[in-house]
């Protein structure tokens, strides 16, 4: 009988910002290693542009999903969990899943974990995490910047915005850089609340380029500049979701759920 060798592949979009990577992606991976010490851990990043930049700048070669899976098979891994650190079941996650499906024959068992926000229970827990970590004062609005996507999964942002308010947090607003809810809508809604101050924070795993530039940048079209132009006192909290212990715990739960679905008992 052949030896069972278990591994977890942690799949992230990636970031070229080393400081935030250490606090987010690296920290998530570290927590997975600590929680599942009997499983060998691998890393893959889905952004080819970022992988190329890291290799050219730092001399570090990070594989894509297919490359990592091929390496895992060459290393003799037989049972594999693929756990994304994606926020949504969007385009990046669909492409990851397609790649995993083409490599299933390389292993005896493969199971994919859910992205951060997949079930209604995930959404509820995420709202509790945000409200616990960043609940605004009575004269403040907390405005969260999600990435946004053309994928139908983008609807989760508007649903979260509604659910924040339904769960008793009327001063928390959810928007996106590249889709809906958009910045103009957010400014209008915050104005209608007659609030004086705005706290801006990224709703992304890492506080990278979008957080540094689109959210807190000095350009006139950044969210900070636009809210200031609208008359608000603005504070930016450049902290990626991966820095919050509750978010990392949610990913750990998704890994364990995948193990159970795949019949791979935790050891």
pLDDT at 266 over 70: no
- Per annotation, catalytic residue among 86, 105, 147, 151: 147
Which residue shows structure tokens 């493969």?
Answer: 110
pTM score of the predicted model: 0.94
Active-site residue flag, 147: yes
**pLDDT greater than 80 at residue 248:** yes
Between the alpha carbon of residue 41 and those of residues 29, 38, 234, 248, the distances in Å are: 8, 9, 41, 16
Given a cut of 50, whether residue 1 has pLDDT beyond it is no
Q: Quickly count: other Cβ atoms within 10 Å of residue 121's Cβ.
A: 10
Reported as a pLDDT band with limits 50, 70 and 90, residue 265 is: low
Q: What percent of the chain has pLDDT over 70?
A: 98
Average per-residue pLDDT for the chain = 95
Question: CB–CB of 39/232 below 8 Å?
Answer: no
Q: Which residues of 4-22 are buried (b: 16+ CB within 10 A; e: fewer)?
A: ebbbbbbbbbbbbbeebbe
pLDDT at 150: 87
Query: Whose CA is closest to 25, among 93, 100, 84?
Result: 84
Residue 15 has pLDDT above 50, yes or no: yes
């Amino acid at each position: 009988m052949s030896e069972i060798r278990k591994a977890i592949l942690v799949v992230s979009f990636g970031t070229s910002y080393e400081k935030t990577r250490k606090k987010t992606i690296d920290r998530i991976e570290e927590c997975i290693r600590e929680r599942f010490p009997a499983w060998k851990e691998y890393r893959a990043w889905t952004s080819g542009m970022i992988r190329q930049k890291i290799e050219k700048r730092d001399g570090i070669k990070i594989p894509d999903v297919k490359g990592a899976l091929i390496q895992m098979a060459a290393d003799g891994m037989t049972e594999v969990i693929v756990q994304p650190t994606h926020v949504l079941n969007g385009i990046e996650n669909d492409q990851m899943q397609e790649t995993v499906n083409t490599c299933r024959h390389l292993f005896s068992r493969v199971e994919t974990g859910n992205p951060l926000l997949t079930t209604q229970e995930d959404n509820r827990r995420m709202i509790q995490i945000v409200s616990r970590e960043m609940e605004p004062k009575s004269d403040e609005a907390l405005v969260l910047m999600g990435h946004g996507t053309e994928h139908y999964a983008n609807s989760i942002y508007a649903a979260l915005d509604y659910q924040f308010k339904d769960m008793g947090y009327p001063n928390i607003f959810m928007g996106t850089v590249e889709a809906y809810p958009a910045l103009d809508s957010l400014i209008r809604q915050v104005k209608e609340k007659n609030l004086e101050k705005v706290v801006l924070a990224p709703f992304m795993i890492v506080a990278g380029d979008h957080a540094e530039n689109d959210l807190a940048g000095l350009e006139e079209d950044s969210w900070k500049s636009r809210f200031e132009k609208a008359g608000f006192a603005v504070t930016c909290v450049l902290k990626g979701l991966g820095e919050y212990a509750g978010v990392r715990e949610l990913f750990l739960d998704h890994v364990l759920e995948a193990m159970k679905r795949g019949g791979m008992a935790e050891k």
